Structure 1
């Protein structure tokens, strides 16, 4: 399915994206807008959301709702605002997240909890808030942006891998419980994608790393990633791995021989 053949396939549909102020979220917003969807952009920074909106196809059609996904009251208010302005939600893209670059021994428990709060608890809370609306509609598609790290687990990413693995398992249960109510559930597992994720990744003390990783710098362009993800979503794929050959090979080997995969991980330089 080419971009041209997909054109306007999402007309009259509402796509709500968290973490939409940059990186993967911004790239996904661009693709969905080009396909005719009405995009709701959410993140904490209203000015950055407005910047993204101004660059979308037909910017006047789209909505910016700034809030902190970790704050329950703000999440409830954001959902109510989406419904008031758009009347429905067709896609909920849980993309807001935070990465990590620290060894287990160096990671404070406060940092562990912060990563889990953003990458797991905030995602499931917002989804649970939206579930009654999906059931009332009789249709909808919930998407979680996990990570290849959530399938494998590597050095310097223990908390991040745990949170991304947890959201994958929760999504599997959600899919099983709501399949007969018209809800589709997909999990996306990005490999290395060229975004600012490593700049914002937390060290053990909970501070931003503030520099780019070589692997991220040489990763897949965010626009290419977004095109592949949306194509897979429109094809009703539930388990979506998007990355380079190294990441895809790692996932494949982990299924065939976990022992071999973890032997390879121990010898790799992944920071």
Structure 2
């Protein structure tokens, strides 16, 4: 895919991988739509992108609010522009045991990671098809490939995204809809700090593994190149991504290792 002059919508663009991807794309003569909840921070990111040479508009919305998602989609669609790429990075993680986590926390994780993501996709997909196709990218995680202690709802929500978007890809094989699932490992962002604890409040701590992870900027470069090649999956991170292949090819070893993980 040639990104020059293309209209790219990036969600979760106020921080972490989403912000880094927005900044990376802004170097390549793209027209960007940036979304997240925090409009003030989005405007700061947008200003950097404009200095890099991109046209940018800011469309804030809340992934956990279906009405907010729909209003943002209609604001963009009302402009009658072709959306060449919708890349979704917004989401929330979790740090709590299954036995201690109230159902409302599980629901909140799913509302943001799964339902918010597919709600925006369902708004944009018909327009993409009508306009000759486009590229969808959604952010999963290596724990979207296997279960992992202390992340039950987060892992489950990412598993759900795989099933949804693989189905979407198969259904639209003849409509020029290309689907990429991004599978990050430990990337140094605030995802663990903002993760939900069993109380539903932010975990408030940077995981040691997260702190030692790859930078968001390094990750964004890898993602940009892989999206350009229209890869169906992008597994990106450090040595921890080996767990994806251990789970696939040596499941017995995966079960042994997973059961001995010390949370945090």
TM-score when normalising by structure 1: 0.93
1:85 Cα deviation after fit: 4.2
Partner of 2:95: 101
Which of the numbers 40, 55, 61 marks the counterpart of 2:55? 61
Matches within 5 A, 1:106-145: 106-145=100-139
Q: Which runs of 5+ in 2 are unaligned?
A: none
Distance 1:137 1:60 in 2: 23
* Structure 2 contact 28–54 (Cα < 8 Å) conserved: no
Instruction: Go from structure 1 to structure 2 and tell me whether the alpha carbon gap of 1:71 and 1:59 turns closer, same or farther (over 3 Å shift).
Output: farther
TM (normalized to structure 2)?
0.96
Describe the superposition over 1:58-89 as per-residue Cα deviations: whole angstroms up to 9, x where unpaired: 46710101111222222122112223447121
Kept in 1: contact 2:25–2:224 (CA 8 A): yes
2:147 and 2:178 map into 1 onto residues whose CA distance is 27
The answer for the alignment partner of 2:35 in structure 1 is 42
| Deviation of the 1:268 alpha carbon | 2.3
Structure 1: distance between partners of 2:237 and 2:52: 30
Q: Which runs of 5+ in 1 are unaligned?
A: 1-5
Q: Distance in 2 between matches of 1:165 and 1:44?
A: 24
- The Cα shift of 1:270 comes to 4.2
CA contact (8 A) 1:17 1:92 kept: yes
CA contact (8 A) 2:149 2:261 kept: no
Q: CA deviation at 1:130?
A: 0.6
- Note the alpha carbon deviations across 1:83-107, whole angstroms, 9 max, x for none: 3447121111121100001011111
Assess if the C-alpha contact under 8 Å between 1:154 and 1:270 holds in 2: no
Within 2, Cα distance between the matches of 1:36 and 1:261?
A: 43
Partner of 1:19: 12
Task: State the 1:248 CA deviation.
Answer: 2.1
CA gap of 1:230–1:109, structure 2 versus 1, over 3 A, is same
Aligned partners of 1:160, 1:233: CA distance in 2, in Å?
Answer: 24
What is the rounded CA distance, in whole Å, between the counterparts of 1:221 and 1:243 in structure 2? 9
Does structure 1 residue 146 correspond to structure 2 residue 131?
Answer: no
Count of residues in Structure 1 that have an aligned counterpart in Structure 2:
263
Q: CA RMSD in A?
A: 1.4
**Contact 2:26 2:54 (8 Å CA) reproduced:** no
2:212 is the counterpart of 1:215: no
Aligned-residue offset at 1:37: 1.1
Give the distance between the partners of 2:53 and 2:68, measured in 1 at CA.
Answer: 24
CA shift digits 1:105-141 (9 cap, x unpaired): 1111100100011111111111011111111111101
Contact 1:53 1:59 in 2 (8 A): no
Distance 1:48 1:149 in 2: 29
